[in-house]
Amino acid sequence: MRIARVLSAALLTLGLAVSPAVADSTPSASPSDGGDAPTEAGTSFRTATEFEQGQTATASASTGDYLYWSFPADAGQRPTVRASVKLPEGAESSSTWQIDVYDGLRRRQACQYGAQTRTAAAGAGSVELSCTLRTVRAWSEEWADDPLPGTYYLRLTTTRLATADLGLPVGTEVEVDSKDIGGSAAVDGSLAQPLVPGIAVASRQEDDEDSSAEAVLSSLEPDDGWASGWWSDRWVWTALGAALAALAGIGGYTLTRGSGRPRHVPPPGA
């Protein structure tokens, strides 16, 4: 009974310790104030319009334009990008639309799943696109193209369009949300700096105590700052496993060592 009580108390204590980590690994949405969402889009990587995860960015454009937005994504997140295009009423033929996502090094990132490219029939009112990226890693090999923490770029355009429909007005909406994957995606390492354009220039200027001409091209970051890369709930689960193994060893030893009293040996000839 004493062993059972010890095990129960240990499990309860460790369960309370693990609860916050488990809660962090579930999807959570905390949209920012919709009034701060941008209402325009950039036309290149350098002029990409910034918006935060949870916001819905809108823009009015013309068919044939290249539209660019940027957003921050941190280690352990699995971002999903969604785009909606309100098509012009006077379109005479079908059109194909596509969203592409690039990281801070402008490497195109593959979609795990989602309708990244869709064709809208003539007369269709709108088209919906989506792209779920791979989980952002805190660190990766130089030769790999894994998603890394930093700024991500979203490009929306039409890849096939009749000449007669070129230049017609369209309305666009884009949004990004992420699922927190947690310790299952943790790696042993982290970047010195997130892949934010211009951050190296700003860091050198801070070292020189000259902050009057910072050249950071992207100013947004996650609400709680960039992850350090070393902590994840994997450490909690590792500690839990080690504690359970130790308790199992103690319990097994206690059950198998006997009562500790010497056994009665009958006298010779009995």
Do 95 and 63 contact (CB within 8 A), yes or no?
Answer: yes
Give a yes or no: residue 119 inside a domain.
yes
Tell me the average pLDDT across 69-84. 94
Give a yes or no: residue 199 inside a domain.
yes
Give a yes or no: residue 7 inside a domain.
no
Q: Which of 182, 175, 78, 51 is closest to 132 using CA atoms? A: 78
Do 230 and 190 contact (CB within 8 A), yes or no?
Answer: yes
**Residue 221 pLDDT exceeds 80:** no
CA end-to-end distance (rounded Å), the chain = 38
Which pTM value belongs to this model? Answer: 0.70
SS (H, E, C) 129-176: EEEEECCCCCCCCCCCCCCCCEEEEEEEEEEECCHHHCCCEEEEEEEE
Give a yes or no: residue 233 inside a domain.
no
Give a yes or no: residue 238 inside a domain.
no
pLDDT of residue 212: 44
Give a yes or no: residue 218 inside a domain.
yes
- Both tokens of residue 213? 């001409």
Q: How far apart are CA 1 and CA 34, in angstroms?
A: 58
Left, alpha or beta for 193 (phi > 0: left; psi -120 to 50: alpha)? beta
Q: Where are the alpha helices (DSSP H) in 149-260?
A: 199-207, 234-256
Do 203 and 103 contact (CB within 8 A), yes or no?
Answer: no
Residues paired with residue 69 on neighbouring β-strands, in sequence order? 49, 154
Give a yes or no: residue 19 inside a domain.
no
Write the CATH number for 137.
2.60.120.380
**Total domains in the fold of the chain:** 1
Give a yes or no: residue 172 inside a domain.
yes
- What residue has token string 């402008």? 106
Domain containing 91: what range?
A: 28-226
Q: How far apart are CA 99 and CA 104, in angstroms?
A: 17
Do 70 and 241 contact (CB within 8 A), yes or no?
Answer: no
Q: Which of 95, 204, 94, 191 is closest to 142 using CA atoms? A: 191
**Residue 109 pLDDT exceeds 60:** yes
Q: Hey, is 62 helix, strand or coil?
A: strand
Q: Which pLDDT band holds residue 250 (cuts at 50, 70, 90)?
A: confident
Segment 168-202, tens digit of pLDDT: 999 999 999 999 886 666 666 677 788 888 654 44
Q: Which pLDDT band holds residue 20 (cuts at 50, 70, 90)?
A: very low
- What residue has token string 């190296």? 200
